[in-house]
Amino acid sequence: MREIPPLLLPLLRSNAVGELLAWLYLHPEKEYSTTDLAKRTGVSQPTVSREMDRFAAAGLTRERRHGNLRLIRADTDTIVARPLTDLLAVTFGPAAVLPPLLRPIQNIDEAYIYGSWAARHANQTGSPPRDIDVLVVGSPDEDELYDAARAAEHILGREVNISRISPTSWNSDQGDPFVRSLRSKPLHPLIQNRRTS
């Protein structure tokens, strides 16, 4: 069955291609193995390897070998690097930018993107997202969440709103209407099932 092009950026073949390119181009200083990219995107390693072959053939990435390890990074010296980076930031950027900003914050059990961005990522029709809505489950410091949101805004070029909810409220069978509404709509996981001290 042929995959439907993603509504976030219909020029691409799939969400997987968009997320892989976003991880590479929005973190150009880093090298990633295919295993690492598969883990970050939830895409199978064989699929990641095939996409990396395509990216390399198109001159979008650079590679080096370290033993059997294939290390890949964005080729930022190409003429398409700057416009591609900008386009990825406003489309697939949230999936690649938010996890590294949220992971260092203590007491986040789970984090998700919800709202219009998550809906477009799930290929639900609608206009392009104007902002990014993030739900954090846990008891992290609000100032740290604020700082993470502002850092993300700087890279993504749009407003980032982070809401915080307790694990008890999120996991309650009774649940409040907000939680029930969120659970009935697309959620894009950023951090899942992490317990912090």
pLDDT confidence of 3, banded at 50, 70, 90?
A: low
Which 3 state secondary structure label does DSSP give 195? coil
Is residue 7's pLDDT more than 80?
A: no
Q: Give the model's confidence band at 175: pLDDT under 50 very low, under 70 low, under 90 confident, else very high.
A: low
Asked if pLDDT for residue 22 goes beyond 90, the answer is yes
Is residue 2 very low, low, confident or very high in pLDDT (cuts 50, 70, 90)? low
In the block, tokens 């059997």 appear at 68
Q: What is the CATH number assigned to the segment(s) 95-191? A: 3.30.460.10
Locate the DSSP E strands across the chain: 32-33, 61-66, 69-74, 108-114, 131-138, 159-165, 188-191
64-120 pLDDT per residue, tens: 999 989 999 999 999 999 999 999 999 999 999 999 999 999 999 999 999 999 999
What is the rounded distance in angstroms from the CA atom of residue 115 to the CA atom of residue 120? 9
What is the per-residue pLDDT for 195?
Answer: 58
Instruction: Cite the residue boundaries of each domain of the chain with CATH code 1.10.10.10.
Output: 15-91
The pLDDT mean for the chain works out to: 92
Angle at 98 between CA 11 and CA 71, to 5 degrees: 70
Length of the chain as a residue count: 197
Domain with CATH 3.30.460.10 in the chain: 95-191
For 50, residues 6+ apart whose C-beta sits below 8 A from its C-beta are none
pTM of the prediction?
0.88
- How far apart are the C-alpha atoms of 18 and 41, rounded to whole Å? 10
Percent of all residues in the chain with a pLDDT value above 90, rounded to a whole number: 81
pLDDT tens digits, one per residue of 149-161: 999 999 999 999 9
CA distances from 161 to 23, 153, 164 (A): 21, 9, 10
Which one of 3.40.50.11610, 3.40.50.12780, 1.10.10.10, 3.20.20.30 gives the CATH number of domain 15-91? 1.10.10.10
Q: What are phi and psi of 189, to 5 degrees?
A: -70, 135
Give how far Cα 94 sits from Cα of 70, 108, 138, 170, Å: 26, 18, 20, 22
Contact predicate 165/192, CB 8 Å: no
The pLDDT score that the predictor gives to residue 120 is 95
